[in-house]
Amino acid sequence: MSETKIPVTVLTGFLGAGKTTLLNHILSAGHGRKYAVLVNEFGELGVDGDLVVDADEEVFETNNGCICCTVRGDLIRILGSLLRRRNKFDGIIVETTGLADPAPVAQTFFVDDNLREKARLDAVVTVVDAFNVSRTLDESHEAVSQIAFADVIVLNKTDLLDEAALEAVEARLRGINASVKIHRACHGKIALENVLDRGGFDLARALETMPDFLENNEHTHEEGVTSMSFSVSEPLDEQRFQAWIGALLQERGADILRAKGILHFAGQKERFAFQAVHMMADGDYIGPARAEEGQESRIVFIGRDLNRPQLRRGFESCRA
Ligand SMILES: Nc1nc2c(ncn2[C@@H]2O[C@H](COP(=O)(O)OP(=O)(O)OP(=O)(O)O)[C@@H](O)[C@H]2O)c(=O)[nH]1
């Protein structure tokens, strides 16, 4: 019976760990299989949908909150409609926001009758930012839960640490989840058989980690982490933007867990995808805008003690 069920991979991992990078690696690989993708983000303005490569996969974006809190709504509804067209693809990948606790997401596949009948949770794959994970685990219980519930860990950003530091990180991860498979990766590059078609989420282990896993349980979120999004409809001055964001991350990077934006710079035909995780920023041109977008630039910040008027003024002052 289980062969006829659609495998679902839940891709989780803290803010900026490299989930979308891994997702793009999966979607760009020549495996000849077709995946439907559900991207959930924590923020008012969607950005992640633009960051996912333009494969012929179907990408659904939900951005009205955290997936672990809206599972009963959006996740069930979108997966339900996907499953009605199940002959169109070979699998489903759900990318959760970095702040999601994967337990209630995984739970959904066991407690919702329709999903239980037609889909099977193949694996919870947790992407870990090797560089930031120690601080993240100290500060966030969602991050601990993401490790505890993983069937597979992709230890990403290994380019930023030496061997001894990587071994220390692996030891800490095994302290939380002794049986998990850990695969090291750089920019999400990993053999796909390590993350897809794993053959089954380990329900027994989940119940060990969390005995009330199959019961409806309330969960709380890390205090004080909020998301703020801003948009401007005129093009930005690239140098002004770089100067502003550079100074901002320098000063507030400890509290800015994540920033990302789709930006239009004056004089550039292509949009710029800006990314930052704490103080470390990068970006890339990602191709021309869609007609309906015009010249709009959007930016999202996720962090603690964010000052909305100050961020808005700063972003608006980057207009060309
Ligand atoms: N140095 C380094 N940077 C990486 C690596 N993988 C991803 N990045 C960068 O890390 C940033 C975040 O990557 P994403 O894939 O967007 O992370 P994410 O987990 O999807 O982020 P959220 O969905 O916002 O939580 C981007 O700037 C990437 O270019 C890596 O292996 N090494």
Residue 217 confidence (pLDDT): 55
Greatest mean pLDDT range, 55-64, 67-76, 135-144: 135-144
The best mutation among 161, 166, 275, 298 to test binding of ligand 1, ranked by most ligand atoms within 8 Å of the C-beta, falls on 275
Strands 35-40 and 91-95, by their bridges, are: parallel
How far apart, in whole angstroms, are the C-alpha atoms of residue 98 and residue 159?
21
How far apart, in whole angstroms, are the C-alpha atoms of residue 303 and residue 257?
5
Between the alpha carbon of residue 259 and those of residues 77, 86, 276, 301, 310, the distances in Å are 29, 35, 5, 4, 15
Domain spans of the chain, in order of start: 2-209, 226-316
Q: Whose CA is nearest to atom 29 of ligand 1?
A: 282
**pLDDT above 90 (res 75):** no
What is the Å distance from ligand 1's center to 18 Cα? 4
Residue 2 confidence (pLDDT): 45
- CA angle in degrees (0–180, nearest 5) for 64-70-76: 115
Polymer length of the chain = 320
Cβ of 167 closer than 6 Å to ligand 1, yes or no, is no
Residue 1 confidence (pLDDT): 43
Q: What are phi and psi of 216, to 5 degrees?
A: -70, 120
Q: Whose CA is nearest to atom 11 of ligand 1?
A: 16
What value does the mean pLDDT take over residues 167-176? 94
Residue 155 confidence (pLDDT): 98
ipTM value for the complex: 0.98
Q: Atom of ligand 1 at shortest distance to CA of 156?
A: 31
Bigger pLDDT: 186 vs 261: 186
How far apart, in whole angstroms, are the C-alpha atoms of residue 264 and residue 299?
11
What is the Å distance from ligand 1's center to 21 Cα? 6
**Ramachandran area for residue 139 (φ above 0: left; ψ -120 to 50: alpha; else beta):** alpha
User: Which tens digit of pLDDT belongs to each residue from 14-30?
Assistant: 989 999 999 999 988 87
User: In CATH, which superfamily holds the domain spanning 2-209?
Assistant: P-loop containing nucleotide triphosphate hydrolases (3.40.50.300)
Residue 82 has a CB neighbour count (10 Å cut-off) of 21
How far apart, in whole angstroms, are the C-alpha atoms of residue 65 and residue 295?
26
How far apart, in whole angstroms, are the C-alpha atoms of residue 46 and residue 214?
31
**Are domains 2-209 and 226-316 of this chain identical in fold?**
no
Confidence of residue 42 (pLDDT cuts 50, 70, 90): low
What value does the mean pLDDT take over residues 93-99? 84
Average pLDDT of every residue of the chain:
83
Query: What class does CATH assign to 226-316?
Result: alpha beta
Task: Identify which of 314, 310, 250 has the alpha carbon closest to the alpha carbon of residue 278.
Answer: 250
Contact criterion met (CB below 8 Å) for 48 and 67: no
